[in-house]
Structure 1
Amino acid sequence: MGESALIVIDMINTYTHEDADQLLPSAAATVPAIVQLIERARRAHVPVIYANDNFGEWRSHHGEIVQAALEGPHADLVRPLAPDEKSLFVIKARHSIFYETPLSYLLAQHHIDHVVLCGQVTEQCVLYSALDAHIRHLDVSIPRDAVAHIHTDLADAALRMMERNMGARVLDTAEVDFGGP
């Protein structure tokens, strides 16, 4: 394994979408693990990349997305893991973090061949992103305690698929090794 990046998927969120009530308990449970991953990645000088939906606001940029989430009804879930000035940010429109985004180019520019995916939703955006990473010959790690779900049974199945069919390492946050201090 070469260089790694931590990718935080769709956690900059107002939680005002259709299935938010089903997602919120799981999202809240993942925040401490994601915060731990972000802190460890930053200490190890591993790029932290936020890949986030723009919620159909095509005139928005990442600062506006972050600000809306911090002013939203669930800012307490966003504030602890908000991007800092060194974080990278990719706006996505569909489920995969790679679909029509510059992420592949960004990873190549940083010589990254291993991605640690965390965020939401396990059975949707995380699953599709892991598949697209696998297709691009990237090593993938998924900390099971740092991914949120809507449906437990589908999330469990998605994690098994990522591990079995895509060769992803499904592990706990404590097992993720970024190297460094």
Structure 2
Amino acid sequence: MSKTALIVIDMINTYDHPDADLLLPSARKTVPVIAGLLDRARRAGVPVIHVNDNFGQWRSHHGELLDTALAGAHAELVEPLLPDDDSLFVLKARHSIFFETPLSYLLHQEGIGHIVLCGQATEQCVLYSALDAHIRHIDVTVPRDAVAHIHADLANAALTMMERNMGARVCDSGELWS
């Protein structure tokens, strides 16, 4: 039986990008939910993997990204979701958590065949990551209240696509590790 991991997508963020004003209201609602998921996953011994954009900073490492986000105008959205000493961290350059990252290899090495995706943005990075997991035969769960969106209508469509087209389980976060 394969293990499960919680993957937090793009939540180490400065929110100074062009669509941030559209994302922020949803992110503010989602952060406490993800913080609760992180706490429950850690208590249950579920591995936590943060996969985050590098924001074009090719010389950066995760510590620099954390420092930059914590020094930004929306540090209150980053602080509750900080990686702990047991969390793993993967940098990505594009939308999918798998695109040209070592994540597939990491999941295989750790015996992880099921991932729970949370983070932002539902209709972009979460959707593309779910698709890439599906084509890799990795089971996916997406807690609908733990993903932030830019456009609610597209996010709802994305969740429907993940469920119907990719066989993802879409649920409420309270159903996980309660």
TM-score for both structures, normalised by structure 1: 0.97
Give me the whole-angstrom Cα distance separating, in 2, the residues matched to 1:79 and 1:144.
22
Aligned to 1:12: 12
The alpha-carbon deviation at position 107 of structure 1 amounts to 0.4
**Contact 2:42–2:48, Cα closer than 8 Å, also in 1:** yes
Aligned to 2:59: 59
Residue range with higher mean Cα deviation, 1-10 or 134-143? 1-10
SS for the counterpart of 2:78 is: helix
Give me the whole-angstrom Cα distance separating, in 1, the residues matched to 2:106 and 2:28.
29
Residue range with higher mean Cα deviation, 118-127 or 36-45? 36-45
Residue range with higher mean Cα deviation, 38-47 or 96-105? 38-47
SS for the counterpart of 2:107 is: helix
SS for the counterpart of 1:17 is: coil
SS for the counterpart of 1:97 is: coil
The alpha-carbon deviation at position 86 of structure 1 amounts to 1.1
**Contact 2:41–2:177, Cα closer than 8 Å, also in 1:** no
Letter in 1 for 2:72: G
Gaps of 5+ in 1: none
Aligned to 1:125: 125
Aligned-residue identity in percent: 73
Query: Superposition RMSD on alpha carbons, in Å?
Result: 0.9
SS for the counterpart of 1:46 is: coil
Matches within 5 A, 1:1-181: 2-177=2-177
SS for the counterpart of 2:22 is: helix
Letter in 2 for 1:152: A
Q: Write out per-residue CA displacement over residues 87-143 of structure 1, whole angstroms, 9 at most, x where no aligned residue.
A: 100000000000000000100111000000000000000000000000010110000
Letter in 1 for 2:26: S
The alpha-carbon deviation at position 2 of structure 1 amounts to 2.4
Give me the whole-angstrom Cα distance separating, in 1, the residues matched to 2:120 and 2:129.
11
Superposed structure 1 runs of 4+ greater than 2 Å apart: none
Give me the whole-angstrom Cα distance separating, in 1, the residues matched to 2:71 and 2:38.
22
Letter in 2 for 1:9: I
